Every structure is written in C-alpha cells, then in structure tokens.
Amino acid sequence: MGKIAFVFSGQGAQYSGMGKAVSEAYPSAKAVFDMADSVRGGTSGQCFEGTAEELCQTVNTQPCVFTADLAAAYALKEAGIIPDCVAGFSLGEIAALAFSGMLTDEEAFKLVCRRGELMDKAAKENPGAMAAVMKITPEKTEEICARFDKTYPVNYNSPAQTVVATTSENAEAFCEAVKEAGGRAKLLAVSGAFHSPFMADAADGLAEYMKDVEFSEPKIQIYSDVTAKPYEGDYKALVRAQVESPVKWQTIVENMIADGVDTFIEVGVGKTLTGLIKRINGDVKAFKAETPEDIEIIKTEI
C-alpha cells in the first residue's frame, strides 16, 4: 500500500452543524472545540448552530472551518488512521500546520483568527470578485486574464478548473470572454478576491503578527500552497505569501502522488477536495472524513 495524505478543506463548504457529530463521538475532536471556545468564545456555537449569513463572514468562516477540520483530523488519528503527509487548501493549510506540529493547536487557531480578520478588512478596503472557470485549461485561462486589468488566476484546482480574482467592474466581461473561448465561468459568492494582490495588506499584517510566533520543525511532511512542495526555508514567509499568492492545488496533488501517496482523505468540511483529486487523477483513492460514519467507512476501505 502507498502513502496516506490528509488534506484539509478550505473556505466555502461551511454549514451550520459542521463538526458536531464528530465532536460528540471522539474526545480528541471535542478537545479542539473546547480549545477554540477558550480562545474565541462562541466558536462551537457558530459551527453547530450559526446561520448561513453568520458563517459566510470571513472573520467567522476561517476559525470555524479550521476547528472543524482539525477536529476531524484528530478523530481519524484517534481511530488509528495516521497520515504520511498533509496539505491544506487555503485556510486549510493553517489547520495542517497545527496537525504537523509546526504550531500548537492554540497558536494556529489564534493565527487563523487574525488571518480571517485581516483578510476581511482587506476585502472591504480592496473589493473584488472571484469566478470559477471550467472546461478550459489553466493556460487558456491565464491568456484571458492577461486581457483584463487586475485579473489573476488564484486557485489552480484541476486540469479543467481554475478560479480567478478580478475587479467587480471586470467580472461580467471576464465571464463573457471565457464563454467565447469555449469555457464556462461562474461568479462565486465570496466576500473578497482572495489569494491575489487584492490581499497585499492582509499579507503584510499577517507577517507583522507572526513576528511573535515561533514555528517548529514539522513532525510530518506538509506541502505548501505557494510552492506545491514540502515546507522548507522561511516558514513564516510561506504562510505570509499564501494569503496573496495562487493556491497550486493540482500540482500539490500531483507531487504527493509522485512521492508515493495513493490514498487521500479530506478532513473537515465538505467534499470539494475529494472531487478535485478524482479529477486530477482517477487512479488514487479519495475519501471525505467529516462524520463518525465517514470514519467507519474509511477504516474498512484502507
């Protein structure tokens, strides 16, 4: 059998009730929610009972999804499933930092809270839009982006899906250009143009915050969204750059497979990454681990 990778989900899949079942079934998962509540009161309540409107606010989404992601990862570990490496999509990478031991759970939670605040502020001060581009290659998407001012590919999700950040003024014309090129573009219901130069102020603010944060060497291999390779060099610089740089998800998955991974487990909220992984390489196994039932299925399959 090949290696197992845990992949931590990102912003967008949040919903009211996330993490509740796994926190009730696994003490290690409950401990994550207890930690979150001790730092940021009401986090569990938002995860379990928050409204859609409340959970879609970046300042709430990031700490809540982080908590649900990390809780699911610890539940899997408690169930005896141990990964060989980890990665996280966007904010999921902060949960991966905690699981890898580079930060304590509390340090990573405080970091993600600050990250959410900074990105929310940057989105309000530098408003933009995001669109998912499908049915055309990343290279073709890049060509279309080059025709528009302040328009950037920001999530390289799969061979046929790239997410783009642009200005609100350019959004509809950009989507029309994609359609003319034979693709399909869908505007996303997000509060900002993430992983782009629109987030430069947030990246600077996070760098300032991390001056007082100490990173440890990872106990388990963790792949960076910025480089698509295992973390090395200046860890803080990678975490800072991630806020304003594209997420190279397709390349991360391909590099993990090249390094021997044949089983991916999406920990936390939703199954977006599971779907992307299957589109990137249909030969690998991909599971979601969000509920106790999911974990039981995984135990019988690997």
Cα→Cα distances 74→95, 124, 136, 226, 290, Å: 11, 34, 38, 25, 11
Boundary-marking domain end, from 146, 161, 187: 187
pLDDT exceeds 90 at position 241: yes
pLDDT(46) > 80: yes
- Are residues 115 and 225 located together in one domain of the fold? yes
Give the DSSP H/E element, type plus range, for residue 175.
helix 171-180
pLDDT band at 13 (very low <50, low <70, confident <90, very high): confident
Q: Which residues are catalytic?
A: 90, 195
pLDDT in tens, 96-153: 999 999 999 999 999 999 999 999 999 999 999 999 999 999 999 999 999 999 999 9
**Residue where one domain finishes, among candidates 141, 170, 187:** 187
The pLDDT of residue 185:
98
Beta-carbon contacts of residue 20 (< 8 Å; ≥ 6 apart)? 47, 48
Number of H helices, E strands in the chain: 14, 9
Q: What is the reported pLDDT for 273? A: 98
- Domain at 177, CATH number: 3.30.70.250
Same domain, 115 and 219: yes
**Domain shared by 158 and 245, yes or no:** no
Cα gap 166→170, rounded to integer Å: 6
Q: How many domains does the chain have?
A: 2
Based on its alpha-carbon atoms, the radius of gyration of the chain, rounded to whole angstroms, reads 18
Q: Which residues pair with 134 in a beta bridge?
A: 161, 184
Tell me, yes or no, whether 206 and 277 share the same domain: yes
Same domain for 112 and 140: no
Q: Is the pLDDT of residue 215 over 90?
A: yes
Mean per-residue pLDDT for 259-271?
A: 97
Tell me, yes or no, whether 29 and 165 share the same domain.
no
* CATH code, domain with 281: 3.40.366.10
Average pLDDT over residues 283-302: 97
User: In the prediction, which pLDDT does 262 show?
Assistant: 98
Rounded to an integer, what distance in angstroms lies between the CA atom of residue 157 and that of residue 90?
12
Q: What is the mean pLDDT of the chain?
A: 97
Asked if pLDDT for residue 231 goes beyond 80, the answer is: yes
Residue 229 is predicted with a pLDDT of 98
Give the range among 88-92, 95-99, 170-174, 189-193 with minimum mean pLDDT: 189-193
pLDDT at site 189? 83
- Domain limits for position 295: 3-124+196-301
Which phi and psi angles does 189 have, rounded to 5°? Answer: -85, 75
E strand or H helix at 60, and its extent? helix 58-78
- 72 and 119 co-located in one domain: yes
Query: Residue 191: what pLDDT?
Result: 84
